[in-house]
Amino acid sequence: MRRPDPGIIRNGKPDPTVTGVAGLVGFGRFLWGLGVDRDLHVTFDRLKSGTGVIYPMGTQLRLLTDAFAVGETRVFGIEGLAADPLFTYLAGGVVPSIDTLYDDVDRFDDAALGALEDRVAEHGLVRVPNLRGPFAHFDIDTSVLPIFGEHEGAVPGPNPRYPGRPSFHPMLARIAETGTIVGAQLRRGDTGFGEADVPTMRRWVRRAMNKLRKGTSLCVRIDSAGDCAEVMHALHEDQAFYVIKAKTTADLLGAASWATNWKTVDVDADKLPIRQVTDLDFSRTSWRNKGVKPRVVAVRSIARHGKQMTSMDGSEWTLQVFLTNRLDEDADDVAWDYDKRAGIEPLIAECKGAWGIGHASSYSFAANHAVFLLKMLAHNLLDRYATEQFPDLARWRTPWRRRTLLRVPGRLSRSGRGRKLHLPPGSPLLTPKRE
């Protein structure tokens, strides 16, 4: 096997019909069929009204959706895509300047941000009515987005990697069974999760519960930030189940150390216990003041996870404690159910890496919030496109979906009054699933 000398290949004439994002045609056709284009115009054109409008708001949002779907993470990345003939054609024939786009995303008010977040959830919840089983799992988590620059709302807060660095602190929710975003909010960097987030959480939870089929309940899973009386009271009042990791405070650790009714659920090769569970008779003053009485499930294990503890017999364990209102289930099943919440971490990592939710190009917080929500909308739309049209790609991550479905080479030709897209042989775009 010998590689040829690339010097013998001569450059031909530039071909203005060659595109690197041929998959946007099928993607756009799918979104058009869903009514996404029309919905964006009806909902957001009010932000930019007047007879002299050249670039309506709905058109601008679709252009940004396409740009984020193919991998751009900042608004000024549009300048690179403007050289692509297909992207320009789908944009309406002319790609607006990035100054115009920056001005447009800065037009978002609170009502428009709320409507855009509703669109994110609408497409994220589309498969929820088909879920079967006792529970659909609703995971809530927050993350830190370090910001290198001066931006409105980017202030120092909890930041383990860059202490003291200004940041945003977004809150996200997913349905574990579908892997889709069903709640998204960009927040200031000094914002934590707690009582102030209860109204937002309740709105997200109720919205998801309205999509469930009969016989399926919603189970909300939150890390130790959810160990808050107001959070548990709100979820129980809305008739949602929850499993929350408890804060391992000194009084809780003491209660676990004094417990004697441990049940062994796993042993080692010598038949010695390596995992035990029990229900603790424990309550915090803040819970009692709010009328909250969660079931307290403790899990101690030889494996190194959780808080280290020493039992009354002198043996060393690591401890995890969970709070739940699932009263009739086995304690070990509740604990294992919470462990599956870990799936939200790679999803957030994908949102950071593949979608660039930490890339903020505007000073305005509202503009950055709008771009953040547009990226989450593009995430759910691409997921829906891959799942419904190409079922074999349903479990693929975003980078591979883009490479296979969107960032595909092609040639756009014109014949008479129509246009044709020529794709490479064997491309999966030639044989999408037909309904």
Residue 8, in any domain of the structure = no
Tell me the two tokens of residue 333. Answer: 């099943």
Domain boundary among 301, 330, 352: 352
Tally of CB atoms within 10 A around 313: 6
Specify the pLDDT at position 158. Answer: 80
On whether the CB atoms of residues 92 and 59 are closer than 8 A, the answer is yes
Rounded Cα distance, 323 and 293, in Å: 9
Per-residue pLDDT, averaged over 95-121, amounts to: 96
Are 60 and 157 within one domain?
no
Determine the pLDDT at residue 149: 84
Instruction: Give the rounded percent of residues in the chain with a pLDDT score beyond 90.
Output: 78
Shared domain check, 127 and 98? no
Output the six-digit token pair for 40. 């964006």
Element (H, E) at 31: helix 24-34
Residues 20 and 85 in one domain: yes
Strand partners, 412: 421
- pLDDT of 157 above 90: no
Residue 434 has pLDDT above 80, yes or no: no
8 Å CB contact between 299 and 320: yes
- Is 70 exceeded by the pLDDT of residue 300? yes
In whole angstroms, what separates CA 324 from the centre of its chain? 24
Give 426 or 185, the one with higher predicted confidence. 185
Instruction: Please tell me the predicted confidence (pLDDT) of residue 312.
Output: 58
Residue 3 lies in a domain: no
Q: What is the mean pLDDT of residues 330-345?
A: 94
Which domain-ending residue is among 326, 352, 378? 352
**Identity of the amino acid at 377:** L
20 and 142 in a single domain? The answer is no
- On whether residue 359 sits in a domain, the answer given is no
Task: Output the pLDDT for position 430.
Answer: 78
Q: What share of the chain in percent tops pLDDT 70?
A: 98
Residue 165 has pLDDT above 70, yes or no: yes
- pLDDT tens-digit map of 36-54: 999 999 999 999 988 889 9
Distance CA 81, CA 65 (A): 13
Q: Are residues 96 and 126 both part of a single domain?
A: no
Residue (of 325, 326, 323, 360) closest to 170 by Cα position? 360
The pLDDT of residue 221 is 97
Asked if residue 298 has pLDDT above 70, the reply is yes
Q: What is the mean pLDDT of residues 125-142?
A: 95
pLDDT value at position 414? 85
Q: What is the pLDDT of residue 403?
A: 94
Domain with 401, as residue range(s), is 16-107+390-430
Residues 122 and 52 in one domain: no
Mean pLDDT of 195-202: 95
Considering the entire predicted model, what is its pTM?
0.93
C-beta atoms surrounding 349 within 10 Å: 11
Which three-class secondary structure state does DSSP give residue 304?
Answer: coil
Residue 435 has pLDDT above 60, yes or no: no
Residue 382 in any domain: the answer is: no
In-domain check, residue 90: yes
Q: Which stretch of DSSP H or E encloses residue 310?
A: strand 307-310
Specify if 348 maps to a domain: yes
Q: How much is the pLDDT for 102?
A: 95
Check residue 219 and give its pLDDT. 97
Number of domains in the chain: 2
Q: Is the dihedral of CA 203, 172, 124, 26 positive or negative?
A: positive
* Cα dihedral across residues 120, 122, 125, 126: positive or negative: negative
Task: Tell me if 374 is assigned to some domain.
Answer: no
Length, in residues, of the chain: 435
Integer-rounded Cα Rg, in Å, for the chain is: 26
175: β partners: 138, 180
Q: Within 13 Å, how many C-alpha atoms sit on residue 312's CB side?
A: 9
Q: Per-residue pLDDT tens for 217-237? A: 999 999 999 999 999 999 999
Query: pLDDT averaged over the chain?
Result: 92
Q: What is the dihedral of CA 223, 132, 265, 241, to 10 degrees?
A: 40
Neighbours of 204 (CB within 10 A): 22
Contacts of 188 (CB under 8 A, 6+ apart): 153, 154, 155, 157, 168, 169, 365
pLDDT interval class at 366 (50, 70, 90): very high
pLDDT band with cut points at 50, 70 and 90 for residue 314: low
Top pLDDT among 337 and 162 is at: 337
Higher-pLDDT residue of 316, 154: 154
Alpha helices for 49-138 (secondary structure H): 57-69, 78-81, 85-90, 98-105, 110-124
Strand extents, DSSP E, 178-272:
180-185, 217-222, 241-245, 263-267
- Whether the per-residue pLDDT at 304 is higher than 80: the answer is no
Residue type for position 399: P
Token couple for 146 = 């370090």
Q: How confident is the model at residue 346 (pLDDT cuts 50, 70, 90)?
A: very high
The DSSP code for 46 is G
Specify the pLDDT at position 310. 67
77: its two tokens? 């990345």
CA distance 163 to 136: 36
Among residues 323, 352, 381, which one ends one of the domains?
352
Q: Is the pLDDT of residue 433 over 90?
A: no
pLDDT for the residue numbered 311: 67
The answer to the question of residue 103 being in a domain is yes
Tokens of 128: 């929820």
